[in-house]
Amino acid sequence: MKLSNNKARYTGYAIVMAGALLMFSPFYFMFVFATHTSSEIFSMPPPLWFGNAFLDNMASLMRHIPFWRNLGWSFYTATLQTLLTLLVTSMAGYAFAMYEFRFKKTLFAVALTAMLVPPFLSMIPTFMTMNLLGWINQPRALYVPGAAAALGVFLMRQYVASAIPSDLIEAARIDGCGEFRIYWSVVLPLLGPALGTLGLISFIQAWNNFLSALVVLRSPSMYTLPLALRILQSPTNSDWGAVMAGSAVAVLPLLVLFAFTSRRLIDGLTTGAVKA
């Protein structure tokens, strides 16, 4: 369908593109500010183009926080959470799609309720559970609970049901393949696209996770990036050049990832949201 009126249409283009620029501008200023000193950022006129203080800002950043450690913990936590999520949810999704068993429907419904539990509701008891387990200040307090991803179970179940023919499973069974080996050697290799999409979603979630990190991580040397960046901010005297450089480095990996995978990521997130 086309809009009948050309004038309205071009006005529409102009508004949508101006909006897109406005949406992107905070990112632009973050990258520009990351390359200027604090005094340059807050001067008249403000910097609108890249400067050359990025390395100085990074150096100053590292005086305030153990930046490389924090970056490392972020990668470590996000990677492990992604792998664990893929393993746990693909097994569960496969079972829900390909087997008949008692209480299947009820169990699946229960699994999906996990999506509706507001995170703030379990904040306090999660802290206490971690305390009990001795996981306070440990990255595993983030990536192990993070793997209980209801959205993942749902996406995997959908994908297995649509992409894996049950004849294939049956054939493997006749050939004497054990149940776990069917999953591991026959099903899992065929789940590529779904694993890719869910992997992206899990990685981004884990990378950005602030709330759980705030509750379970206690010392700056164990902080993931979001938590570390926050301690840079002080109401009176923030080193804004360093803050922006740190934020830019934290955001950049996701921007690059997103540039190549946006279609897939958006499709994955909306399928989960729309069909669940």
Partner 1 sequence: MSLSLPTPEPAAHNGRLSDLHAPLKAPRRKSLVNPVKIAPYLFIAPFFLLFGLFIAFPLLFSLYLSFQSWDATAGLASMKWVGLSNFIFTLTDPWYWKSLYNTASMAIMSGLPQHLIALPLAFFLQTAFRRWRNFVVGLYFLPFITSSVAIALIFSSLYSTDFGMINLAIAAIGKLPGLHWIVPAHPIEWLYSPPNVKPAVSLVIFWRYVGWNTVLYLSALQTIPKDLYEAAKIDGANGWQQFTRITIPLIKPMIFFAVTLSIIGGLQLFEEPFILLPNEGMGTSQSGLTTAVYMYRTAFHDGDFGTASSIAWLLFITIAALMWLNTRIFHRSGMNEENQR
Q: Binders of partner 1 among 120-149, rule CB under 8 A?
A: 120-129, 144-145, 147-148
Tokens matching residue 20: 């897109």
Among the residue ranges 55-63, 75-83, 106-114, 188-196, the one whose residues contact partner 1 (CB under 8 A): 106-114
How near is the Cβ of 58 to partner 1 at its closest, in Å? 16
The least CB distance from residue 192 to partner 1, in Å, is: 19
Nearer to partner 1, 192 or 231 (CB): 231
Q: What are the distances in angstroms from CA 193 to CA 196, 198, 261?
A: 5, 9, 12
Binders of partner 1 among residues 152 to 181 (CB under 8 A) are: 153-154, 158, 160-161, 166, 169-170, 173-174, 178-180
Task: List alpha helices for 175-239, DSSP H.
Answer: 179-181, 192-208, 211-216, 225-232
User: Is 7 an interacting residue with respect to partner 1 (CB under 8 A)?
Assistant: no
Q: Which of residues 55-74 bind partner 1 (CB under 8 A)?
A: none
Residue whose entry in the numeric block shows the structure tokens 């995978």: 261
Residue 3 contacts partner 1 per CB under 8 A: yes
Minimum distance, C-beta of residue 191 to partner 1, in the bound complex (Å): 14
Among 14, 59, 171, 255, binds partner 1 (CB under 8 A): 255
Helix, strand and coil content of the chain, in percent to the nearest 5, comes to 75, 0, 25
119 binds partner 1 (CB under 8 A): yes
Angle among Cα 195, 198, 202 to the nearest 5 degrees reads 130
Which one of residues 92, 151, 155, 216 is an interface residue with partner 1 (CB under 8 A)? 92
**Residue 91: CA atoms inside 13 Å, Cβ hemisphere, count?**
11
Type and span of the H or E element at 253: helix 240-275
CA–chain centroid gap for 72, Å, is 16
Binding mask 23-52 for partner 1 (x = CB under 8 A): xx-xx-xx--x-------xxxxxx------
Of 19 and 193, nearer to partner 1 (C-beta) is 19
Quote the tokens at residue 234: 């002080």
Supply the DSSP symbol for 270.
H
One residue of 91, 136, 188, 190 binding partner 1 per CB under 8 A: 91
Question: Which one, of 242, 237, 258, 203, lies nearest residue 81 by Cα?
Answer: 203
Near partner 1 by CB under 8 A, which window of 49-57, 59-67, 75-83, 228-236?
A: 228-236
CB-nearer residue toward partner 1: 186 or 254: 254
Main-chain phi, psi angles of 113, to 5 degrees? -60, -25
Q: Is 83 exposed, middle or buried (0-12, 13-18, 19+ CB in 10 A)?
A: middle
Nearer to partner 1, 70 or 192 (CB): 70
d(CA 114, CA 149): 8
**Binding residue (CB under 8 A) for partner 1 from 207, 216, 217, 222:** 207
Contact call for residue 14 and partner 1 (CB under 8 A):
no
As measured in angstroms, the least distance from the Cβ of 55 to partner 1 is 20
Instruction: List, in order, residues 6 or more apart from 70 with CB less than 8 Å away.
Output: 220, 223, 224, 225, 227, 228
Size of the site for partner 1 (CB under 8 A): 115
